[in-house]
Chain A
Amino acid sequence: MTSPFTAGDLPAVTLDVDVLVGRYADRPGPTGDPRRVAEVLAANGIGRAAVANLRAALFDVPTGNDETAALAGPRVLPVGGVDLRDPLGAEREVDRLAERGFRAVRLFPDEQRVEADFPSVRHVARRAAAAGLVVLTGGDVRRFWRPLRGTTVVFLDTHFYHLGDFVVAARDEPGFHTSTRLLNSPDALETVAEHLGVDRLLYGSRTPWYEAVVPRLRLARGNLTPTDVAAVAGGNARRLLEPIA
């Protein structure tokens, strides 16, 4: 007897833009041990990941980012974190991250209970852009599009319910990109590809908190071409985060 649920057609992921190590104090779930996260990524066919650290987001920014930097290697592209509750510290950290060679900074507005119109968000986004960092951000795209105008940004929480808002905002913002994690309606990926181009789509799993297989399945069983699938599964992320000098 074999299982009716099979998936031998999943695409390899060459760069996942949404992976976390570290823990949340306010919820059950994994502890985010880097070795365990690496095992989950490997088991899900994810060859390389942009990894940020919840220690930086929730407790201590410099030591969290230093931990993340130490993970750098063939399978990990370190992503810095800042605390939007401390915009003065965040601007210092953005500069430090750029000096250390980080390519991206991740914002955690939901976890830090920071709203889109707080001055910190606009300030840190501008500072990151000036430092040449790509912004990866959580938060409701219908609100966070505004302070992130003019930046190169990947919205990590775009839900398909809000896809139309992302599309109309992104038409005027060539730097706006979205993770595929929550674009799990039957035509969301294809809608972005049609209205904005497939280069705006980046595979994101939020390993180890979400099932990494779901956005891979969506890519495998949708209507994008194999070339487009490869771009979403890592090519677009490499272009943004690891451009060839």
Chain B
Amino acid sequence: MIIDVHAHWGPWFFSMEVGALATNLAVMDRYGIDLAITSATEAVVYDVTAGNRAMARTLEHSDRLLGYLTVNPRRLDDAERDLRELLPTGRFVGVKIHTDYTDSPVRSPQTRAALELVAAHDLPALVHTWDATPLELAQACVDIPGLRAVAGHMGANGWRHAVEAANAVDRLWLEPCFSHTEAGRFAAVAAAVDPGRLLFGTDATLIDPAAAYGAVLAADLPPALAERVAWRNAAELFRLDVTG
């Protein structure tokens, strides 16, 4: 069993043809990924309302995808309405916040307000992090009671900050996807943080899962820890009724 906690559905603006649901499923099959928690690219990069509804419709067509309801911190009225209208479908298990596309850094007032909203709904939040911003997300976890956050990309080049962040608070998880696969990055993180905080995320279908899968493979984790990374930690965090 492998659960991908950082996936997307929909087209990207680069020279790539990856927008179809069939592509998601085919890419998952390449790597034995059973379940992917997925946000709509439209919601992430453009129109959050239309994108979330497109995601909801797509989720009706595959039981191998679960949804992130995307929140644009600049449009919290939309977020409240989307949470109210779409959570009852039962297919959305978390919230996605992309800080760059919305120009809303983790420390910004609007993203803090968005995270408070997410915590009030008791949903995990996958937040885009880069460089030192996992530390800002850790501080948000300290400041906002009950917030459970995943540092997307575990800071990318800033993974050393992600280690510090994960060790500073007990409600921050890390996932490794990043197109630049620095040698030893995931192994170093896995050796330095609570094994319960490690998740598997790919950024597919923007990035092929080879990047994250290879990073985890290269870390040569003991099987029990590899299983926690692959799915057990995700199942616990997202409260999924799955078995290996």
Contact = CB atoms under 8 A, between A and B. Distances in A.
Given A185-B207, A210-B180, A217-B217, 8 more contacts: A1-B223, A5-B216, A5-B217, A184-B207, A185-B18, A188-B208, A215-B210, A221-B31
Contacts of B215: 211, 214
Interface in A152-197: 159-161, 163-164, 167, 182, 184-188, 191
Interface in A71-110: none
A7 B226 CA distance: 14
A188 B179 contact: no
Contact of A211 (B1, B16, B181): B181
B181 to A, nearest CB: 4
B165 interface: no
Contacts of B211: 184, 214
A221 B1 contact: no
B15 A191 contact: yes
A160 B217 contact: no
A30 B226 CA distance: 25
A227 interface: no
Contacts of B213: 5, 7, 217
Given A1-B223, A210-B181, A221 B231 contact: no
What are the 8 closest A-B residue pairs judged by CB atoms, nearest first? A164-B15, A214-B214, A3-B226, A4-B230, A217-B210, A221-B30, A218-B210, A1-B223
B227 interface: yes
Contacts of B184: 29
Interface string B30-57: 1110000000000000000000000000
Given A184-B208, A208-B183, A167 B217 contact: no
A2 B223 CA distance: 5
A4 B227 contact: yes
B63 interface: no
28 contacts: A1-B223, A1-B224, A3-B230, A4-B1, A4-B32, A6-B217, A7-B214, A29-B182, A29-B183, A160-B179, A163-B14, A163-B15, A185-B14, A185-B207, A185-B208, A187-B16, A187-B17, A207-B183, A211-B183, A212-B183, A213-B217, A213-B218, A214-B181, A214-B211, A217-B214, A217-B217, A218-B208, A218-B210
A209 interface: yes
B182 A186 contact: no
Interface string A211-232: 1111111100110000000000
A184 B30 contact: no
Given A167-B15, A214-B181, A185 B226 contact: no
B21 interface: no
A221 B15 contact: no
A160 B183 CA distance: 19
Contact of B27 (A164, A167, A186, A207): A186
B217 A7 contact: yes
A91 B2 CA distance: 53
B4 to A, nearest CB: 12
Nearest to B230: A4
B204 interface: yes
A134 to B, nearest CB: 25
B206 interface: yes
A187 B207 CA distance: 9
B14 to A, nearest CB: 5
A221 B14 CA distance: 22
Contacts of A212: 183
Contacts of B70: none
A188 B16 contact: yes
A186 B16 contact: yes
Interface in B167-191: 179-185
A4 B226 contact: yes
A187 to B, nearest CB: 6
Contacts of A29: 182-184
A14 to B, nearest CB: 20
Nearest to B214: A214
A182 B16 contact: no
